[in-house]
Chains A and B, each alone.
Chain A
Amino acid sequence: MNDPAPKRPSLAVWLPLGLFAGFLALVVVGLYWPADREVSSTFIGKPLPAFDLPPASDERPGLATKVFHEGKPRLLNVFASWCVPCAVEAPQLAALAKQGVEIDGVALRDRKEDLARFLAQNGNPFTRIGKDDLSQVQIAIGSSGVPETFVVDGKGIIRYQHIGDIRTEDVPLILRKLAEAQ
């Protein structure tokens, strides 16, 4: 045990590190390169497709494209009563609505009574709620799941797409995007 250590620098000892570096490179590419954002970003800067949805609830009118051309930036929120993250983001939407942001909703494949329960439980920040039973609007605006939120400027152009629930820390970002869309 007390023999002098054999000083034989061998390349083999660096091999594990090399393999590990290869692994890291691979996962970094996998994690960041085909990012989800690229798919969504293709719709930014494009006009909102034309649609006219019937009301999804008794409390609010339906939703048509023309309201997005009235000159004021608005939020378009795609949600559903059966979607858990949608309930999680409800307080953030309520906070945005309290600050005067107009939010229109698209309720996806929902039932009237489920929606009423959802709105009673989580609050109703929406000005209008359109009923999208066939996911036509969802598909047309390139939304890949619920919830998603779009910032649309006063001329009906999509300015920003937020995938997933809006967390507390995302609220300033949304407000900034709305201000930029003025």
Chain B
Amino acid sequence: MIAELGLAMLWMAAALAVLQLVAGALALRPATAHLGGVVRPVAMLQGVLVACAFAALIWLFLSTDLSVKLVAENSHSAKPFIFKLAGTWGNHEGSMLMWVTIMSMAGGFVALIEKRLREETLIATLAGQAFVSLGFYAFLLLASNPFTRLAEPAAEGAGLNPLLQDIGLAFHPPTLYVGYVGLSIAFSFAVGALVTRDVGPAFARAMRPWVLGAWIFLTLGITAGSYWAYYTLGWGGWWFWDPVENASLMPWLAATALLHSCSVLAARNALRTWTVMLGVIAFSMSMVGTFLVRSGILTSVHAFAVDPTRGSFILALLAIYIGGALVLFALRASTVTEGARFAVLSRESALVFNNVMLCGILGIVLVGTLYPLLTEAMGVKVSVGPPYFNPVSAVFAIPMFLVMAVGPVLRWREDKGGRLTWSIAIPALVSAAALLAVELLFAPINLLPALGLTLAPGLAVASLLPMKGRNLRRTPLPIYGMVIGHLGIAVALFGMASEGAFSTERLAAMNPGDSQQVGPFKVTLAAIDPVAGPNWTALEATVSASYAGGAATVLHPQARTFANPPGNRTESALLTRWNGQLYAVLGEEGDDGRWQMRFWWKPFVPMIWYGGALVALGGLLALLGRVARDVKRLVAIDKIAWRRERQGR
């Protein structure tokens, strides 16, 4: 019953999306402008209906209703609660429903609260949003219905891929989805603004919270994904430049550029065409990312649920949306009038530079990701890895970091070089000191880590400079957001450089009782024992590690074997100190009875993820600041309207 109800609600929501699109499109013509009135309520109702449909699917998974095909194929009654919940979206159909749900709820939310845009532009935006959702509704209802019943209920579910039975991964895809969907809202705003030729500060202000929100989720998603890969794959690396990782990085790069150009448009009414273009690019990158991941067109270490036919569908949607938007852009771009001007030395210029560099990195990553496809079409097989991505993206990243250190202290419109002496000198001195320390104390270090170690401290200091002379209490939240976000980048950069420069690895075959020296740690293998979890069994090593002769801490790396469905997974063990992490992996038993153990000591490596978290926190503060200001404004408008109404009587 619940399944049928969910399906019915999904169909109704799709019908409402059609209505939203048609009414919105007709409302743009003066003769039928009165139809515009239905668009907002329809968008809200659609959001509510899809949310109910998704709730129905969650209910089916939580109650393990094995008469539903999707549940039978992806769940198991013996799974812990949290993984039953995560099973809802840990599969193709469920994740698509989740995508549509978030998208339509966001659309409904826009309809509910957005009051700054011209009504016309808003209606065009919502119509665009309905158009995008419709593609996904068609995908869901015609090709991947999550509510299909089995002819006969299954006796037991098939379970969930063991790699996915991890708390981090359970919530990782939805985080990215929220980010992607947020960018779809930005895309709709861009399309709406192009349709009504209404590209201006109001458009940027309306779009900005959504971009910020999407960007926060993408940042969190990438940070968490990197950490997940770090501790589950057991390879000690935190970023592999794998297609799936690149697929999440590319929308982030585009969103970062969009965020910055948005602030120029909102504050200074400049970079109009560019911002619209980035709005389109950012959403294209999330669609491209989804396509690359889902279609299995590129080999990846993290690819799940790969299906070429589904890939074709996403590709078709991608072609329609992005192709359409780019045609619209090409037709309308010349009618978008020139924005305000700015000098070469101004904050706008710095932000333009940042945008161009981010797009450069985006291009590098995109080309590198697609290159194997290109050569394969010509009959040569290659794979592209860190030797390409690291140095080539650094060519763009390093100038960007340099400008990023100065940009926030520059004035809008035009600035004078003389004012900046100290703002440049202080970070430069810090960096010079860092360079000296790197060269004298730790040489030889590879070029890129050395550059990172040099730049990061200067960048950290520079990121705090905009706070100079400000009253901490009166500083607006968005300024705090910017400062913390930039600081986060510096912190993450330091972590990456330190990991690259100072990691030590130890690989050894050990008998219980044997010891090894790993960096400053002395590690001793105490024992290997079998252990059992709720749906897995494992071999568990007991390892004691003592830092520089101090007290020992016990670590338990495992090699887990899952039963439903069968599979293996290494569970590395981590020991985190303020100055780094010890990483332990249990391998196989050799012929002579010794156990293969692998250890890394990675100084300051957690700063990569602390940095990522700081960046997200910065985004959150900025978002809170913007939203608080908008709410205040809305309340004020309502008050005036109410007063007028009373006076009118």
Contact = CB atoms under 8 A, between A and B. Distances in A.
B168 interface: no
Interface stretch (B81-89, B372-380, B416-424): B372-380
Contacts of A39: none
Contacts of A33: 377
Interface in A71-123: 82, 84, 87-88, 91, 121
B334 A20 contact: no
Contacts of B280: 16
**How would you classify the secondary structure of chain B's contact residues: helix, strand, loop or mixed?**
helix
B315 A27 contact: yes
Interface in B273-322: 277, 280-281, 284, 288, 291, 295, 297, 308, 311-312, 315, 318-319, 322
Nearest to B331: A13
Contacts of A24: 315, 318-319, 323
B323 A17 contact: yes
A9 B334 contact: yes
Contact of B329 (A16, A31, A88): A16
A31 B312 contact: yes
B330 A84 contact: no
A50 interface: no
A91 B158 contact: no
Interface of A: 1, 3, 5-10, 13-14, 16-17, 20-21, 23-24, 26-31, 33-34, 36, 82, 84, 87-88, 91, 121
Contact of B152 (A16, A26, A91): A91
Contacts of B200: 1
A13 B291 contact: no
Nearest to B291: A27
A17 B315 contact: no
B387 to A, nearest CB: 23
Interface string B32-49: 000000000000000000
Q: Would you list the 6 A-B pairs with minimal beta carbon distance, nearest first? A: A17-B326, A30-B373, A13-B333, A84-B565, A13-B330, A5-B335
B327 interface: yes
B159 interface: yes
Contact of A3 (B311, B337, B565): B337
A27 B297 contact: yes
B322 A20 contact: yes
Contact of B337 (A1, A13, A26): A1
A31 B297 contact: yes
A30 B243 CA distance: 15
A13 B334 contact: yes
Nearest to B332: A13
B376 A34 contact: yes
Residues of A contacting B: mostly = helix
Given A23-B370, A121-B155, A17 B337 contact: no
Contacts of B319: 24
21 contacts: A5-B337, A7-B335, A13-B330, A13-B334, A14-B330, A17-B326, A20-B322, A21-B323, A23-B288, A26-B377, A27-B297, A27-B370, A28-B315, A29-B373, A30-B297, A31-B315, A36-B308, A82-B565, A88-B158, A91-B151, A121-B156
Interface of B: 73, 150-152, 155-156, 158-159, 200, 277, 280-281, 284, 288, 291, 295, 297, 308, 311-312, 315, 318-319, 322-323, 326-327, 329-330, 333-338, 370, 373-374, 376-377, 565-566
Interface centre among B151, B158, B288, B335 (most CB of A within 10 A): B158
B392 to A, nearest CB: 19
Given A20-B326, A26-B373, A82-B566, A6 B338 contact: yes
Contacts of B284: 20
B363 to A, nearest CB: 9
Nearest to A1: B337
Contacts of B370: 23, 26-27
B377 A30 contact: yes
B311 A31 contact: yes
Contact of A20 (B155, B158, B323): B323
A14 B377 CA distance: 26
Contacts of A16: 277, 280-281, 326, 329-330
A121 B156 CA distance: 8
Contact of A6 (B152, B308, B312, B334): B334
Contacts of B291: 27
A24 B288 CA distance: 10
A125 to B, nearest CB: 15
Contacts of B155: 121
B99 to A, nearest CB: 20
Interface centre among B308, B330, B338, B373 (most CB of A within 10 A): B330
B152 to A, nearest CB: 7
Nearest to A10: B334
Contacts of A121: 155-156
A34 to B, nearest CB: 7
B490 to A, nearest CB: 32
Nearest to A5: B335
A91 B150 contact: yes
B299 to A, nearest CB: 12
**Which of B151, B159, B323, B334 has the most CB atoms of chain A within a 10 A radius of its CB?**
B334
Nearest to B154: A91
Contacts of B376: 30, 34
Contacts of B565: 82, 84, 87
Given A20-B322, A27-B297, A84-B565, A13 B373 contact: no
Given A27-B297, A31-B295, A121-B155, A17 B330 contact: yes
Nearest to A122: B155
A82 B563 CA distance: 9
Contacts of B152: 91
